[in-house]
Amino acid sequence: MSDENFSNYEGFEPSREDEQYYSEMMASLDEAREVMPEQEYQRIDSSTQELHQSMRDFKAAEKEIGSLPEVWQEYHPQHEEIKTSIKEMTDDYRENQPEEIRQESTERTVNSLEEATHYFQQEREQYLAREAKLEAELEEIREQMGELQKSVQSYSPEKLAECIAVSTQFLQQVDTMRKMVRKGQGEQQRGMHKAIANSVSKVYMSVKEAPARAKKAVKLQVYKAADKVVHRVAGAFDRAIDYMERKKQEFLNLSPLELERQMKAIQAEEQKRLEKELGPELAEARAKQAAMTPKEKLQTRQQEAKQQGLKLEKAIAV
């Protein structure tokens, strides 16, 4: 239910829908218990407890990955139907209606409670399935980056280091925004979660075949093609980071200066980490380049160009 609708619904707080809906149902059932046989009442109470648990399970999922007020809004008519069913059932027992009528009203109440329980279970499963997809794509991105590193680390350590740096920045940004989603509210949560999911999916599509393509290019010694693979992957991460930053600014109303400050802080921290982890490899590669004479550098470039020209004719498009 939207915040506005809740504000029009006396006593309701959007953060406590499950408990407040349950309280309303139990208040209605207190009257029913006074006039119903205990065995029949227990059927209704059992179904009510199952619905309550289903609501609580859904609320627990919301706390982890963001709220879905539209789910509660869609449920509200069902809640009103449940209350009406309980009232009609109570009246039938209070008025000592024929057994057939009382049983029919009892069954209607049980059915309405079970339908609501199924509704929350289904919504929770769909919500968790979406989150599971996000987790699976993130894990695949991590795995594929590891494979890409194995494919090209001996050929182009500096380009690889840049790509790893931006991939790490991307994963950190995803983690940061997911934490913000848990603390956000309403449209802010949904907007940021959607931005995260879209970004991860696009990066996943760009990365999932990159290691195989880079490995094939290196094997054929078509090094420019391998460079292009690494460059495209880094570009995918860069675009995703920019997109998520824009969405974060949009939903949190960050000033441009604050946004720039945060980005610089993230980049500085990442640079320190990379220098610590990849320092030896980068230092070795730079030392080799620095030790070469201009003539040796020219000869190396000419030899690589000649090899690539020969191999390009045999290479399959990467």
Give residue-wise pLDDT tens across range 85-119.
Answer: 999 999 999 999 999 999 999 999 999 999 999 99
State how far Cα 216 lies from the chain centre.
33
Segments making up each domain of the chain, as ranges: 3-125, 153-285
Q: Greater confidence, 105 or 289? A: 105
Which pLDDT belongs to residue 9? 42
Using pLDDT thresholds of 50, 70 and 90, give the confidence band for residue 193: confident
Using pLDDT thresholds of 50, 70 and 90, give the confidence band for residue 199: very high
Q: Which residue has the tokens 């209607």?
A: 108
Top-confidence range, 147-151, 217-221, 256-260: 147-151
CB atoms within 10 A of CB 163: 26
Spell out a b/e string for 197-227, using b for 16 or more CB atoms within 10 Å of the CB, else e. bebbeebbebbeebbebbbbbbebbbbebbb
pLDDT for 62 beyond 80? yes
Q: Report phi then psi at 171, rounded to 5.
A: -65, -35
* pTM, rounded to two decimals: 0.60
